[in-house]
Amino acid sequence: MKHKFLTAAMLAFSAFAGPALAQDSGQPTTVTIDAGRPGPKIDRNIFGQFAEHLGTGIYGGVWVGEDSAIPNVRGIRSDVVAALRAIRVPNVRWPGGCFADEYHWRDGVGDPAKRGVSINWNWGGAIENNAFGTHEFFDFAEQIGADAYVAINVGSGTIEEASDWIAYITADERTTGGRERAANGHPEPWKVKYIGLGNESWGCGGNMRPQYYADELKRYARFVRSFHPEQQAAPNMMQRVAVGPSDGDTAYTEGVMEAWSKKDWSWDIEGLSLHSYTVVRWPPAYESVDFGAQEYAELTQATLKMEDHIRAHSAIMDKYDPDKKVALVVDEWGVWLAKLPGTPEGFLQQQNSLRDGIIAALNFNVFARHADRVRAANIAQMVNVLQAMILTDGDKMLLTPTYHIHRMYLPFQDATLVPVAFDAGEYRQGEVVLPRIDAVAVRATDGKLWLSLVNLDPERTADVRVAIPGVRARAAAGTVLTAPRINAINTFDAPDTVAPQPISGRAADGAVALQLPAKSVVMVAIEE
């Protein structure tokens, strides 16, 4: 186990970096940035989010209704919109998740008083009154400035139902769908940036064999179309995302990619989904708040398996798709913990600690290192569910450590990956051996060189020397996220316990010296 991890870590750091040696010399760690050798673009869509009809993720968290005393615009709460705008959410995936494969879109359009009412069987048996439907979703996406990622019902729906839905959303008023949408109050068609052709079809989406799913996929990929005039040619066409693997299981990766490699002109996909949660074991039992160094180390180790999974699936995809036409879309990821005491079964409510912020940063670093294949991802989930950015309680709202990480990583959106080399060192907790430091450098769209540094060690500060061969690095300045305890959280009474603080580094012999606090994430711009 230990050996396996170290091997994985070393490979991780050498995939787009110099070789990493696992040792802890007690000396400052030198992070060498090869600024003259730019790598692939980091698609901003790796910072996508996921909003499912689940618990209070939509109802209460996003949608309060126009008559609510909570300030809202057309029923969508304004505090949540303002917070999400500030982290420039590139895309939002909706309506599920497992919910998507039982969702019938007609229940959610037209007169709210006449909408379908059903039981959300997957998630706590809650009554679903469809107050938040297609128009409300697109209004929400527009309010936060995000593109739409619509997951269609392959499990219990039909191709006709799915193609009618996307026609309703995207076609103009000369068509039946477009006329109906206009009659329901929105004459202009909307764009669908991504379409999910099913969800977890190996599990809650119908438990299909990969080959059976691949046959279904061909028909959905062929017949469910965007008619939006601006989506008729590359690069703006709707991106079709096929159901792909879970964690390290490669059956769907093989099955779908093999089918894709034999495709003819009649169908295509642009993405293959990967779902991989940080959970250690099922059912999720690790606590949100009441945990110590051992649980921290085990969950962090589980998170770092993301790199192994991406590497394994990418290798299979490379076999069928060496030109990397099909993106790996990690459209469900995040830490899945035990439910908070007193919260309903199936609502997946958990707190969000500094540990979870570190876990988010490590995942972003993994995605960035694999930017050539991982071109979109969606954290699960946006508000009040699993590893949320935002928690609400009635009219109260707080921003989680994971939210702050999203804000700190804004320079990574559409940046260019820049190689780094460093000795990751080791942090040991019981039998768990983790790298002590992680680092990723990027050239942002504003031309600045940004460096993300994570000190995984919950006890010891880490001294880092940032060197750029051929360049005199003059200074570094940015923000750090840390707290006195690894399980520190933000609460409605104390919402800023875990919040970014300024940090800077000083010039020393042509390099920049930085001190990373224990258990911290640092994001700095390097002055060249």
Question: Which residues contribute to the site for ligand AHR (CB under 6 A)?
Answer: 52, 96-98, 199-200, 332, 380-381, 386
Nearer to ligand AHR, 170 or 273 (CB): 273
In whole angstroms, how close is the CB of 100 to ligand AHR at the nearest point? 8
- What beta strand segments (E) does 67-144 contain? 72-73, 76-77, 91-94, 118-120, 126-128
In whole angstroms, how close is the CB of 200 to ligand AHR at the nearest point? 5
Q: Identify whether the C-beta of residue 491 lies closer than 8 Å to the C-beta of residue 398.
A: yes
Amino acid at 123: W
Instruction: List the helix and strand counts (H, then E) for the chain.
Output: 10, 26
In whole angstroms, how close is the CB of 123 to ligand AHR at the nearest point? 8
In whole angstroms, how close is the CB of 279 to ligand AHR at the nearest point? 10
Determine the Cα–Cα distance for residues 80 and 390; give it in Å rounded to an integer. 8
In whole angstroms, how close is the CB of 158 to ligand AHR at the nearest point? 21
Determine the Cα–Cα distance for residues 498 and 464; give it in Å rounded to an integer. 23
How do 475-481 and 520-527 pair as beta strands?
A: antiparallel
CA 468 to chain centre: 30
Q: Identify whether the C-beta of residue 350 lies closer than 8 Å to the C-beta of residue 339.
A: yes
* Tokens linked to 175: 């068509």
Nearer to ligand AHR, 224 or 386 (CB): 386
Closest residue (Cβ) to ligand AHR?
97
Q: Could you tell me the sign of the dihedral formed by the alpha carbons of 328, 41, 151, 189, in that order?
A: negative
Residue with tokens 């940015």: 478
Question: Looking at the DSSP assignment, which residues form a beta bridge with residue 6?
Answer: none
In whole angstroms, how close is the CB of 155 to ligand AHR at the nearest point? 11
Catalytic residue among 128, 270, 298, 332: 332
Residue 431 designated active-site: no
Q: How many CA atoms lie within 13 A of 524 on its CB side?
A: 28
* Tokens linked to 366: 């993994």
Residue 200 designated active-site: yes
In whole angstroms, how close is the CB of 218 to ligand AHR at the nearest point? 22
Query: What single DSSP character describes residue 59?
Result: B
Determine the Cα–Cα distance for residues 214 and 256; give it in Å rounded to an integer. 6
Phi-psi region of 303 (alpha: psi -120 to 50; beta: other; left: phi over 0): alpha
How do 147-152 and 91-94 pair as beta strands?
A: parallel
Catalytic residue among 52, 128, 200, 307: 200
* Tokens linked to 411: 């320079």
Nearer to ligand AHR, 99 or 403 (CB): 99
Task: Show which residues are catalytic.
Answer: 200, 332
